Amino acid sequence: MKFKALFITIFTILSFNLISQNSVLENNFKNNLSHDEITRSYVNPVKIVWQSDNQNVNIKNSAVLLKDFNGQLSTSGEGMCVLRSDSENQASILLDYGKELYGGIQLAAGIRGEKKPIKIRVRFGESVSEAMSETGSVVSGMNSATNDHSLRDFTLEVPWLGTIEIGNSGYRFVRIDLLDKDVDLPLQSVRAIFRYRDIPYLGTFKCDDERLNKIWETGAYTVHLNMQESLWDGIKRDRLVWVGDMHPEVATINRVFGQNDVINKSLDFARDTTPLPGWMNGMTTYSMWWIIIHRDLYLHQGDISYLKEQHTYLTALIQQITSQIDKNGKENLNGTRFLDWPTSEDADVIHSGIQALTVLTIQAGKDIAKWLKDPSLEKTCDDALTLLKKYIPEDHNNKQAAALLSLANITTPQAGSSVILDNGSQNFATFYGYYMLEALAKDGKYKEAMQIISDYWGAMLDLGATTFWENFIYEERTNATRIDQLPKEELFDIHADGGAFCYVGLRASLCHGWASGPTSWLTEHVLGIKVLEPGSKTIQIKPHLGDLKYAEGTFPTPFGIVKVKHTKQVDDRIKSEINAPKGVKIIK
């Protein structure tokens, strides 16, 4: 009994010491941990687009790659896809995951006779053309398919009886080539590793036009994919915090996801990495968009503490902007002068756009000054607005300039919509198309705007898009290959053959958040939900259905979800059913 008691005592002491040591190690380890706010899930491919062999010689049982895999390999080699390259043929396969994703892939390789690793090549692609391309292929004098910002074309070794995870890019298609010859590569699975923020879609939109519904959803999903560690412009390229690109993205987030810290984190990053007198991203306009975003964010979310954190920097930035307005009210802002890529080579159009953006920025600054109860800053903005009214630039018959000049009340809504509607969707743009739509709404051209949304953004869907693109030239849709099909010589390759500036050919991003404008536009103008008071305390609901028979949806606020349903009656009057949470005042 004494021996037993002694044993229990020693065991208790040892266990206590071990637990204490583990606690210390755990605490020390925790100090070095950084929380990953991004969720990961696995996605199976839905289709084999192409394989180099259909004779059951170099590729066998490829359909198994479309089946579910629970993540656990076994010592059985049965029921696997087997690739084998020889001196005559290389085993290659192209998989379609059905939808644009962000992340990598997991390969599960089975048991085989020899235990040494096998070398393969992996190519990610946002289109079939990109996944089938050679890195460094030349289009219009530039390297088209690239490994810029994220590796999407590389070689690696696959283990014997094991899994390996690789890749970090935006893609929908994956091509695998077996590089080693005269060896069997048994594959149980090639699953996508999908990385995303696991957040609910609080805002919704539905109407009797399924094309518009799909466009709304695609815009929301495009921005969702770009809500990674920060709010990015694109998930393949550039994967950076471009503040101008953020404005339409934040508009979408406010209306679909509600408050999300990725916005604050990204705005603060832009501020903290841009000491004045610098311009965010080196561009005059992107610092102005930063001010406008803060105005819109506070209007929707009402976080006065966060807005106060911007007070010092924002005041100095506004003073920097106003100091570069001459006595005639003309902006003379230094820094890189940029609106969007299609206008980037026209200095006159850029000036007109920046003049309008200066007005919109100072007006946003005035709103913020009132909320912060800063009469000195408010007077600075008032004086600048009075000065800016003296100067009226031309629109140069350019849709980007016309839209901004209309929104800034420099020209009439009618003048703006006249330029924007000329030739319909031709000369529309994925980024500034949002402001063109806003200008059309200002002139009451809701039906025309919805038609352009259906034509322009809908054309990307017709070409196989599951997210909206960095660039799209409407005329290029004619005789074009879909992005989910193998290219044909007689057809225009919409990804490889198009593009310009920084997005030549396959380098172009097919998931770019700045293209999500229709999502917020449809919520604000078709559902008619417009925030009037900070924190969404007062909301106006004034629907514009155009030719629609009904439209319904939800809208997130800090107080809860607003629900609306609008139905057109036989006399064309609209019956509205509105349900708002306590704390939200509704004005019709």
DSSP annotation string for 409-453: TSS-HHHHHHHHHTTTTTT--TTTHHHHHHHHHHTT-HHHHHHHI
Question: Of 529, 470, 522, whose CA–CA distance to 237 is shortest?
Answer: 470
pLDDT category at 14 given cuts 50, 70, 90 is: very low
Which pLDDT score is estimated for 24? 57
pLDDT tens digits for range 374-416: 999 999 999 999 999 999 999 999 999 999 999 999 999 999 9
Q: Report the C-alpha gap between 90 and 181 in whole angstroms.
A: 8
DSSP secondary-structure letter at 137?
A: -
Which pLDDT score is estimated for 504? 86
Phi, psi of 102 (to 5 degrees): -120, 130
Tell whether the model's pLDDT for residue 31 goes beyond 80: no
Location of structure tokens 């009656």: 569
DSSP secondary-structure letter at 532?
A: E
Tell whether the model's pLDDT for residue 28 goes beyond 80: no
pLDDT category at 251 given cuts 50, 70, 90 is: very high
Tell whether the model's pLDDT for residue 10 goes beyond 50: no
Q: Report the C-alpha gap between 278 and 282 in whole angstroms.
A: 7
My answer on whether omega of the bond before 487 falls inside 30° of 0, hence cis, is no
Q: Report the C-alpha gap between 98 and 94 in whole angstroms.
A: 12
Rounded to the nearest 10°, the torsion over CA 436, 438, 442, 448 is 60
More confident residue, 3 or 183: 183
pLDDT category at 295 given cuts 50, 70, 90 is: very high
Beta carbons of 463 and 487 less than 8 angstroms apart: no
pLDDT tens digits for range 471-481: 999 999 999 99
Q: Report the C-alpha gap between 565 and 342 in whole angstroms.
A: 38
Q: Which residues contact 211 (CB under 8 A, 6 or more apart)?
A: 454, 458, 461
Tell whether the model's pLDDT for residue 33 goes beyond 70: yes
Which pLDDT score is estimated for 2? 52
Type of residue numbered 198: D
pLDDT tens digits for range 533-586: 999 999 999 999 999 999 999 999 999 999 999 999 999 999 999 999 999 999
Return the CATH number of 39-196, one of 2.60.120.260, 3.10.105.10, 3.40.50.12780, 3.30.420.10: 2.60.120.260
Residue 318: CB atoms within 10 A of its CB come to: 24
Q: Where are the domains of the chain?
A: 39-196, 204-470+509-568
Beta carbons of 351 and 285 less than 8 angstroms apart: no
**For a pLDDT cut of 70, what percent of the chain falls above it?**
94
Type of residue numbered 373: K
Question: Residue 177: beta bridge partners?
Answer: 92, 121
Q: Are strands 138-139 and 118-125 parallel, antiparallel or unpaired?
A: unpaired
My answer on whether omega of the bond before 233 falls inside 30° of 0, hence cis, is no
Half-sphere exposure of 487 (CA within 13 A, CB side): 15
Rounded to the nearest 10°, the torsion over CA 441, 444, 447, 452 is -40
Tell whether the model's pLDDT for residue 198 goes beyond 90: yes
Question: Residue 41: beta bridge partners?
Answer: 194
Q: How far is CA 211 from CA 141, 453, 518, in A?
A: 37, 9, 12
Which CATH architecture is the domain 204-470+509-568 placed in? Alpha/alpha barrel (1.50)
Residue 214: CB atoms within 10 A of its CB come to: 14
pLDDT category at 146 given cuts 50, 70, 90 is: confident
pLDDT category at 141 given cuts 50, 70, 90 is: very low
Q: How far is CA 433 from CA 248, 264, 425, 439, 456, in A?
A: 10, 25, 9, 10, 9
Phi, psi of 189 (to 5 degrees): -160, 150
pLDDT category at 21 given cuts 50, 70, 90 is: low
Q: What is the mean pLDDT of residues 98-106?
A: 98
pLDDT category at 19 given cuts 50, 70, 90 is: low
More confident residue, 136 or 34: 34
Q: Report the C-alpha gap between 392 and 287 in whole angstroms.
A: 22
Question: Of 157, 179, 176, 154, whose CA–CA distance to 167 is shortest?
Answer: 154
